[in-house]
Amino acid sequence: MTSPDLREKWSAARVRAAHQAPYLATALLSLDPVMVTGTSGELRRFPTDPGWHVYVGIEELARQSVQEVAFWLVHQVTHLLRAHARRYPGGVLEPQREEQHTWNLATDAEINDDLPPDLPPEPATPARLGLPDGWTAEQYWHALRENQPYPPIAPGDCGSGCDGLPRAWDHDLPPAISPTTARLTALDTARRIRERLNAQDDVPAGWRRWADQLLEPSVNWRHHLSAKVRHGLTQAAGRVDYTYRRPSRRAAALPGVVLPSLRQALPSVTVLIDTSGSITETMLARALAEVTGVLGAVGIGRRLLTVITCDARAYRPQTLTRISDLHLDGGGGTDLRAGFAAALATRPPPDLIVAITDGRTPWPHHPPRTRVIVALLDPAGRAPEWAETVRVGGAS
């Protein structure tokens, strides 16, 4: 049991956190404290788990100031609201400590890019990592992995609430709130952010972006994806060329002159499929079936449809008679740049590329000349600005 002084300190820190970020008040009050002894140092960040428990080290609560504890409460509830545990891109069967540390840095950078300068010395910020503000955790993750070694940052652990992987201090407790309640809490927080913005302009940009993404009106992704693919095919099919295989109808007006006729070729399509370990087969099957259904409806036969699977590398192109013939190579890391390179290396290059992915990948720095549609399977994923994006959901 904690002393009355420490309980009062805990309550004061939670009130201070809610005062600093009033739009997070409901989420902060949803945290269920679990008091832990004998783990001095390991719990200095007051880590959480996906069940919305916050692990309060008695020694750390006594050592840190109310302001420091309040900072960590805001920090940890942000990990939970932004679903960082579900978004973790590293290995889960044989997790590597380095992967966990890199993801913790990446998520911290996403959280801390717009906080005031008087931070505790430990948290990572994009500036301290030599990276731009405003990126997603997935972007910071890939940048940190590609730009080793990154600047030294004091090691810290935000717990399984950051990556979903169990910790030694985690207790086998029922969730403090159900997944449905957690989702409703996130929606309530997003609405509070919108209300706060209507009253005064003091909400950080990162929270504004998050609320906009969460509250964007839901659409029937199947209709949206079909419309995008059809539009892309129409644009590609609008291109015409001259051919001498068939004489022009105007040739009779000019005896002795061979005039070419106009030829409108069917567009070729490459479907680029992300087969990294983070992709679920259910959503992949839904999106692929929708794309191939649209292509079949507009007359794109198997001769003009190429499928390339890609994880960290691109696999051999496949032409399919049936979807059941598709062989999904891959299952490792993710780098769709290899897939784009393979698609554009074909001669002639495709008129349309449809990329089906969760968005947890680096993208080509420069837009290809070919039209690109991204079917984004994960709402937390990212697609490049130069692509047309359809967010593929589980409903409708």
pLDDT for residue 395:
41
Question: pLDDT tens-digit profile of 6-46?
Answer: 999 999 999 999 998 999 999 999 999 999 987 667 898 99
Most distant pair of Cα atoms in the chain: their distance: 106
In terms of DSSP bridges, do strands 305-310 and 269-274 run parallel, antiparallel, or are they unpaired?
A: parallel
- Across the chain, mean pLDDT equals 80
| Alpha-carbon distances, residue 228 vs 59, 211, 224, 388 (angstroms) | 57, 25, 6, 8
* 48 pLDDT more than 90: yes
Full DSSP string of 233-296: HHHHHT--EEEEEEE-GGGGGSTT---EEEE-PPPPEEEEEE-STT--HHHHHHHHHHHHHHHH
DSSP bridge pairs for 375: 356, 390
Which pLDDT band, with edges at 50, 70 and 90, does 264 fall under? very low
Complete edge-to-edge strand list for the sheet that includes strand 371-376: 305-310, 269-274, 352-357, 371-376, 388-391
How would residue 333 be classed by pLDDT, with cut points 50, 70 and 90?
A: confident
- The model's pLDDT over 198-244, given as tens digits with 9 standing for 90+, comes to 777 778 888 888 888 777 654 565 666 667 777 766 665 554 455 55
C-alpha pair distances (Å), 21 with each of 69, 77, 225: 14, 11, 38
Whether the CB-CB separation of 99 and 93 falls below 8 Å is answered with: no
Phi-psi region for residue 253, left (φ > 0), alpha (ψ -120 to 50) or beta? alpha
Q: Average pLDDT of 366-380?
A: 86
In tens, the pLDDT along 303-332 reads 567 889 998 899 999 886 666 567 778 777
Residue 183 has pLDDT above 60, yes or no: yes
pLDDT of residue 396: 40
What are the structural domains, with CATH classification, of the chain?
4-215 (no CATH), 221-391 (3.40.50)
Residue 103 has pLDDT above 80, yes or no: yes
The mean per-residue pLDDT over the stretch 325-353 comes to 86
With 0-12 / 13-18 / 19 or more C-beta atoms within 10 angstroms meaning exposed / middle / buried, residue 189 is buried
Closest among 354, 307, 309 to 335, alpha carbons compared: 309
**Which pLDDT value is given to residue 292?**
65
Q: Which residues pair with 273 in a beta bridge?
A: 309, 356
Q: For residues 162 and 185, what is the distance between their CA atoms, to the nearest angstrom?
A: 18
User: What pLDDT, on the 0 to 100 scale, is given for residue 58?
Assistant: 92
pTM of the predicted model as reported, rounded to 2 decimal places: 0.59
Q: Which pLDDT band holds residue 265 (cuts at 50, 70, 90)?
A: low
